[in-house]
Amino acid sequence: MVDFRYHLVSLVAVFIALAVGIVLGAGPLREGISDTLDEEVAQLRTERTELRNELATLTARAAAKDEALELVGGRAVAGTLSGSRVAVLTLPGADRNRVAGVEERVDEAGGALVLRADLDDDWERAVAEDDVAALVTELSASLALPEPREGDAPTLATVVAATLAGSDQDTQVGAWLAAGDRLEEQGLLDLTWQEGPGAQITDRRPPDVLLVVGGGLGVLAQDPEDEQALAALETRLDLVDALAALELPTLVAAPGTETDPTAPSAGTDPLVVAVRDDNAVADAVSTVDNLESAAGVLAGTLGLAWELQQETGHYGLGDGAQAPVPAPPPQRLVTSPVPGDEADVTEPVPDDAATTTSP
């Protein structure tokens, strides 16, 4: 058996060790530990100050860049969309304030904003509903629909794409206009045709090029497994794929890569990521990932002009971007050509081999 004296000695040893620790902590070791902590705190304060100063400098530079692009943007885009008919489609959750800057640049580029289309919030939730399936069947009889991205049956995405592209069956001229009316009646799509100054009749022809404004899927940054958001993303990608299949020049743009990193919408928009990751779609549809900045607005406008020349590109700061902004394309001349215009840049992103200046 363990002797009582063993327990007593153990307790005494514990108290002696505790006493020695208190004495050392309050004496010789205290100064060393305190000095180390003071140095680490001082270093952290210095690093915090340096980071704040760096952030202030970068913010000032970004503001100066945006101001400069605002000043020269009109000159850069002038004539690149002359004579073209432009439509804008906003997806559920998109910030419509972002659209205003692009619309202004489109006007400066000589394009005519002929149609604003807004997909209702119910659009994505209604995809699987029976009454929508009946509507798709009804409209499929008169529209020339593309093959859906998945499966064989027509979908709401293919119907909306055909409506925006003006894709009628050969014997059903103008069916896409009637389809637009039906989609509006069902509360799925809002169409606003723009009338020119003094116009007596609204010119309702299909657009030459389409800008799709994304947003509203920031929840995927917080929860990549959110089933509702993933389903919405798949539906949006189906729509973009259908637009590409119908050969309607299309650019998908969204804010994100120049947004405050702490904001829920920061980072590359999921639809932009999905388009860039799908090789077939990426080869036919352009993207911009920083629509919240002057650079993104400029890239969106020039990207639309390149789409009209069947040149697809991906612009911004996120993964998969080929350049922050495309080179200005040759001006679209609706009268007589300008001597020397044929020597202008002919690619949105020049090849590295063709670059003669060093960085």
Please state, rounded to an integer, the average pLDDT across all residues of the chain.
81
> CA quadruple 258, 259, 265, 267: dihedral positive or negative?
positive
- Where residue 338 falls among pLDDT bands split at 50, 70, 90? very low
Residues 6+ apart with CB under 8 A from 153: none
For residue 131, the surrounding DSSP H or E stretch is helix 130-140
pLDDT of 2 reads 53
Strands 112-119 and 189-193: antiparallel
pLDDT of 189 reads 92
Q: Reply yes or no on whether the pLDDT at 48 is more than 70.
A: yes
Q: How much helix, strand and coil, in percent to the nearest 5, is found in the chain? A: 50, 10, 40
What does DSSP assign to residue 218? T
For residue 98, the surrounding DSSP H or E stretch is helix 97-108
Task: Tell me how many degrees the CA angle 238-239-241 measures, rounded to the nearest 5.
Answer: 65
123, 219 in Cβ contact below 8 A? no
Range in 129-133, 153-157, 165-169, 262-266 with the lowest mean pLDDT: 262-266
Cα–Cα distances in angstroms (integers) from residue 269 to residues 94, 197, 266, 280, in the given order = 11, 36, 8, 19
Identity of the amino acid at 303: G
Cα–Cα distances in angstroms (integers) from residue 257 to residues 63, 159, 236, 315, in the given order = 15, 31, 20, 11
Residue with tokens 């592209």: 165
Determine the average pLDDT of the residues in 76-91: 91
Instruction: Say whether 104 sits in a helix, a strand or coil.
Output: helix
- Where residue 119 falls among pLDDT bands split at 50, 70, 90? very high
Q: Reply yes or no on whether the pLDDT at 323 is more than 80.
A: yes
Identity of the amino acid at 76: A
**β-sheet with 286-288: strand ranges across:** 189-193, 112-119, 85-90, 209-213, 250-253, 286-288, 314-315
CA distance 245 to 233: 18
pLDDT of 142 reads 92
Whole-number percent of the chain with pLDDT over 70: 76
Q: Reply yes or no on whether the pLDDT at 20 is more than 80.
A: no
Range in 63-72, 130-139, 300-309 with the lowest mean pLDDT: 63-72
pLDDT of 208 reads 95
- The pair of structure tokens assigned to 130 is 């029976």
* Cβ neighbours of 215 (radius 10 Å): 23
pLDDT of 111 reads 92
Strands 209-213 and 189-193: unpaired
Strands 85-90 and 112-119: parallel
339, 316 in Cβ contact below 8 A? no
Instruction: Say whether 112 sits in a helix, a strand or coil.
Output: strand
State CA 244 to chain mean position distance.
17
| Better-predicted residue by pLDDT, 237 or 356 | 237
pLDDT of 97 reads 79
Beta bridge partners of 210: 87, 250
How confident is the model over 260-272, as pLDDT tens digits?
776 666 788 999 9
CA distance 190 to 27: 77
Q: What is the model's pTM?
A: 0.78
Range in 24-33, 226-235, 323-332 with the lowest mean pLDDT: 24-33
Residues 6+ apart with CB under 8 A from 349: 313, 322, 323, 326, 327
How confident is the model over 297-322, as pLDDT tens digits?
999 999 999 999 999 999 999 999 99
CA distance 137 to 133: 6
Determine the average pLDDT of the residues in 35-46: 76
